[in-house]
Structure formats: structure tokens, C-alpha cells
Amino acid sequence: MKRTLKYYRIMWLRHDFAAGLSVFLVALPLCLGIALASGAPMYAGLLSGMIGGIIVAAISKSPLAVSGPAAGLTTIVAAYLLSLGNYQIFLLAVIIAGAFQVLLGLLKLGSIANYFPSSVIKGMLAAIGIMLIAKQIPLALGYDRPDFWTSDFLNLFSSGNITEFSHHMSNASLIIAAFSLLLRVLMRRSFAKKVHFIPAPLLIVCLGILFSLFFTNTAGFLALEKPQLVNIPPGKFSNLTFPEFNRLFSNLQIWKAGMVIGLLATMETLLCIEAIDKLDKHNRITPVNRELIAQGIGNMTCGLVGAIPLTAVVVRGAANVDAGARTKMSAITHGVLLLLAVVLLPFVLNLIPYASLSAILLITGYNLTQPKLYKNMFSLGWKQFLPFILTIIMILVTDLLIGVSIGLLLSVYFIIQNNFKAEYKITRTVIQGIETEVIKLNSNVTFLNKVKLKKVLDEVSEHSVLTIDGSNCNFIDYDILEIISEFENKAKDRHITLYTINIEKVNVTAIH
């Protein structure tokens, strides 16, 4: 026990405090923005971030994942807030969603994450990187209406938006973003190792605050507008809303909403965990069933105290990895910092320009979708590259879950295609003028091989010899045995001499 505590203390001092600070700076505006996009009270997003950082991280065994309100749930949360018509009733659905996740974890159903192909997960990460970059560029340019949490990716490039950006840009924000990016790049150089104990995001934020104060006090025409700065509203937690438990069974829609939110939050969490584990340089694997229980307890807590639902979030997790986190203490640190900063230092947070935070996220987005990733995936061949690139395109065009599902379907298609080729081998020879064919079945032959095998058998020449060898098979599907037994009856009419080895005969006389 003492060794474990000592290990966590050393990792926290050397790595996790700086990483937690970095994630805190990323999470703060996102918590506010996602609450705004969901149509929920502003404090609901902050509470969700604190619960994800402290409670979920403490229960979870994921070393690098960070939980909080997720942009992927904003649409469904906003829709159910409208349909249920009452935030207190909506909180009941959040509690049900959490209980559903706990049940899934106890039933050990989290292993579904293991069935997502690597190419699809990498495509998801790359797509999130592209969206992150695209949605931070307006803030880096000084766009003073930071509603990028609600905008679809394609809508960012509509003619109306581009025209609007041009009228709401700020030279001051552009200067802050440029110098912030330059500082981030310089901090990665060897000469910056002397100050490695100072987190780069903290320096970037301090630089942004200094620029903002300088522009305000010396160059009024460059002064940042209020929407270009982080805004923690006064009286954050003075009007907390709690669920109305007496209405838990008053409306079936509450339970339906809870199940849908729980299912979507589970899928997004599992995808995130799989993705963050792939980013872990130490190749640690997160126990997914334990993670679902942690997420479920987190969402139940969210519902009890008036917060919006949470998931493990790729952006926060990627920022955590990028900042050099080693253990889950970085996620806990980010949650504690959210609590302390919002309660004790809101006036300092309100001095931070969005342009500084956008610079941090631009680097994170680039690290998720670097050109070398595309080059590497292309070098692996079309069967890896196509699901990868299709996942990216579909996520950008639709949303995360639909994009991943389509990428998964393409991967399954390639698996089935390979299965057609791999599960039997055909050799053709001529012995004493008689054409002889051998179909050697391999390992496991399933109904997926049914169509191809039928075609091969139909192409066997008349007056020939055919041997079907199943001696190497561990399993032959009934559908395959049925096709072979049917062919045995047809072979006599076509004067084909058929030999079978280790192939069980089935009764096909009753088949129509």
C-alpha cells in the first residue's frame, strides 16, 4: 500500500499535476459550451466535469481517460429536455441511464469494445482531430460568437458562416493565438527542458491574459470583447435543481429517455476507452466493465445533483495523453482544479481569452490527425485504409456513432470476403485423362462460405472426380453439410465421382 501511494505521489509531482492542469484548461470552456448547447443550466456542465474528474476517475481503473459532459450527447440531451418539458424530470432519466450502465458493467457486457477494428478506431480519432481543428480556427481568428459546440462540421464551411466569420474576426485574438502556438512549439524544443516543470498550457494561458490586459489598457481598438473571453456566470451553484422522484413512474418516456441516453453514453465511452488505450505509450488496457460501473455511478450522481450526463471524452483524454499524464491522478487533479477554480477564482478564469485555449486544442487536434497517420494507414493496404478513411468521412458528414458503425460494416465486409477465400482451398489435376478436383476445407467453415461453395460445386465438370476433404476442420456449419449432401445426389446425374473425407452426411430428403 505504501509503495502504491509513493508511486502515485511521484507520478503526480513529475507528470500528472501538469497534465491535470492542461486538461482543466481544455475542459473548462467545453463544460460551459456543452451545457449551453444542450439547453441546460450553465452550472450543469461544470458539475458534470467535476463529477467526471473526481468520482468517475476515482472508481475507474483507466490510467488516462478523462470523463465529463460530451459534445456527442448534446443533440439527444436537448431533444429530451424539450420532450420531457422539465429539467427535474430529465434528471430522473439521467439517473436511469447511470443505473443501466452499472447493470451493463455488472453483466460484463463492456467487452463489445474489443470487437471494433483498429482501422475504425484510428479513423474515429483522426475525424475528431479534424473537427477539433476546424471548430477551434474560428476562435483563434477571434470569432466572438463561440457556439462551435453546436455547429455541425459541414455547417462551419457554409457561405453564411464564412461571411459571418469575416465580420466578427479580431486582430487581437489572431495575435494571441499565433504567439500561443509559437510558444507551444518552442516548449517542445530541447532548450526548453530547463523549464519543463512549468506546464506549457499554463504558460500559454498566462501569455494570453497578459496580451489581453495589454491590449485593453494600451490599445483600446485591440481590446477583446466579452464573448472572446471565458465567462463563468455569477451565482453558479445558488439555484441547483434536483430530480422529482415522485414522478419516476409517471411517464414511460422518462424510462425510454434513460435507456437511450445510457446506451449512447455507453457506446461513446467504450469507443473513447478503446481509442485512448491505443494512445497509451505504456500499452495499458482499461477494464471496460469496471469503467461502465464507474460511468454509471458518475451519471447517477449527475442526475442526483442536477448535472447533465457524462461520458469518457476523446478530446479530454487526448489532451491528457498529449500533456504527458501517467496515472488517473491527472484526471482527478483536473476535477479538483475545476471545483477550486470555479468556487474560488472565477474572476481570474474570466480573464482567459478563448484564443489561448484554441491554441492548446489546435495542437491536440493536429496530434490526432497527423499526416504520417494517413501515410501509415495507406501503406497497410486498402483493407485497412478504406475503413479508416470511410470512418473519417462519415463521422464528418453525420456523427460519431453513425460514422463508426459504417466503418465497422465495411471492416466486417472485408472479414467476410477474406473468410470466403480462407476457409477452403481448391486444387485441380488430370490423372490418366480424368479431371480430378480436391476441395480441402480449413479450420472453421460457416454459412458465410455458402454462396461461394455452391458456385464452385456447380462448376465441377461432368465425368470428373471430386474429393471434398474435411479432415482439417474443427467446425463445419450445418448449411455447408447440407449443400454437400445435396450435391452428392446431383453428382450421380452428372457422372461425377464424389469422395468425402470426414464430412458428416445429413438428411436432405425433406428439403424443398
Claim to verify: residue 379 and residue 458 sit in the same structural domain = no
Residue 281 in 3-state DSSP?
Answer: coil
Asked, for residue 508, whether it belongs to a domain, the answer is: no
Residue 465: give its domain's CATH number. Answer: 3.30.750.24
Summary mean pLDDT of the chain: 82
> Are 319 and 26 within 8 A, CB to CB?
yes
pLDDT average, residue stretch 92-118: 88
Asked, for residue 485, whether it belongs to a domain, the answer is: yes
- Percent of residues, the chain, with pLDDT higher than 70: 85
Higher pLDDT, 442 or 61: 61
- Among 328, 360, 384, the domain boundary falls at 384
Residue 7, pLDDT score: 73
Residues 6+ apart with CB under 8 A from 232: 32, 342, 346, 349, 350
Residue 58, pLDDT score: 95
pLDDT average, residue stretch 474-501: 83
Instruction: Of 185, 203, 186, 208, give the one whose Cα is nearest residue 366.
Output: 185
> Are 121 and 318 within 8 A, CB to CB?
no
- Among 324, 353, 384, the domain boundary falls at 384
In this structure, of 124-133, 220-229, 501-510, the range with the lowest mean pLDDT score is 501-510
Do you know the residue count of the chain?
512
Residues 6+ apart with CB under 8 A from 318: 125, 128, 129, 276, 279, 364, 367, 368
In this structure, of 144-153, 195-204, 313-322, 410-419, the range with the lowest mean pLDDT score is 144-153
Give the other-Cβ count within 10 Å of 193's Cβ: 10
Instruction: Of 316, 262, 263, give the one whose Cα is nearest residue 128.
Output: 316
Asked, for residue 160, whether it belongs to a domain, the answer is: yes
Q: Beta strand pairing status for 465-476 and 67-69?
A: unpaired
Q: Write the CA distances from 456 to 85, 217, 249, 502, integer angstroms.
A: 61, 82, 59, 20
Claim to verify: residue 467 and residue 371 sit in the same structural domain = no
Task: Return d(Cα 473, Cα 2) in angstroms, integer.
Answer: 53
Domain span including residue 494: 423-501
In which band, very low, low, confident or very high, does the pLDDT at 240 lie, cut at 50, 70 and 90?
A: confident
Claim to verify: residue 263 and residue 209 sit in the same structural domain = yes
Claim to verify: residue 306 and residue 443 sit in the same structural domain = no
Give the cell for residue 330.
491527472
What helix, strand, coil percent values describe the chain, rounded to 5? 70, 10, 25
Residue 225, pLDDT score: 79
Claim to verify: residue 213 and residue 112 sit in the same structural domain = yes
15-46 residue pLDDT tens: 899 899 989 988 887 887 788 667 788 789 89
Instruction: Of 311, 315, 346, 316, give the one whose Cα is nearest residue 331.
Output: 316
Alpha helix stretches (DSSP H) within 39-73:
42-51, 57-59
Asked, for residue 509, whether it belongs to a domain, the answer is: no
Task: Return d(Cα 325, Cα 120) in angstroms, integer.
Answer: 25
Strand-pair partners of 434 = 431
Asked, for residue 261, whether it belongs to a domain, the answer is: yes
Task: Return d(Cα 199, Cα 333) in angstroms, integer.
Answer: 14
Instruction: Of 225, 195, 241, give the one whose Cα is nearest residue 43.
Output: 241
Residue 103, pLDDT score: 95
At residue 433, what is the residue type? G
Higher pLDDT, 151 or 92: 92
Sign of CA dihedral 46, 51, 57, 60: negative
Claim to verify: residue 352 and residue 450 sit in the same structural domain = no
Claim to verify: residue 380 and residue 476 sit in the same structural domain = no
In this structure, of 229-243, 253-267, 325-339, the range with the lowest mean pLDDT score is 229-243
Task: Return d(Cα 354, Cα 218) in angstroms, integer.
Answer: 20
Claim to verify: residue 247 and residue 200 sit in the same structural domain = yes
Claim to verify: residue 328 and residue 440 sit in the same structural domain = no
Give the cell for residue 137.
480556427
Q: What is the DSSP string of 347-375?
A: HHHTT-BHHHHHHHHHHHHHHHS-HHHHH
Claim to verify: residue 182 and residue 280 sit in the same structural domain = yes
In which band, very low, low, confident or very high, does the pLDDT at 511 lie, cut at 50, 70 and 90?
A: very low
Give the cell for residue 259.
435507456
Q: Write the CA distances from 218 to 21, 173, 223, 230, integer angstroms.
A: 30, 16, 9, 21
Give the cell for residue 200.
506549457
Number of compact structural domains in the chain: 2
In this structure, of 131-140, 258-267, 337-346, the range with the lowest mean pLDDT score is 131-140
Claim to verify: residue 200 and residue 308 sit in the same structural domain = yes
Claim to verify: residue 372 and residue 439 sit in the same structural domain = no
In which band, very low, low, confident or very high, does the pLDDT at 329 lie, cut at 50, 70 and 90?
A: very high
Largest CA distance in the chain: 101
- Among 327, 358, 384, the domain boundary falls at 384
Residue 512, pLDDT score: 46
Task: Return d(Cα 23, Cα 322) in angstroms, integer.
Answer: 10
pLDDT average, residue stretch 144-155: 52
Phi, psi values for residue 263, rounded to 5°: -65, -45
In which band, very low, low, confident or very high, does the pLDDT at 432 lie, cut at 50, 70 and 90?
A: low
Residue 126, pLDDT score: 86
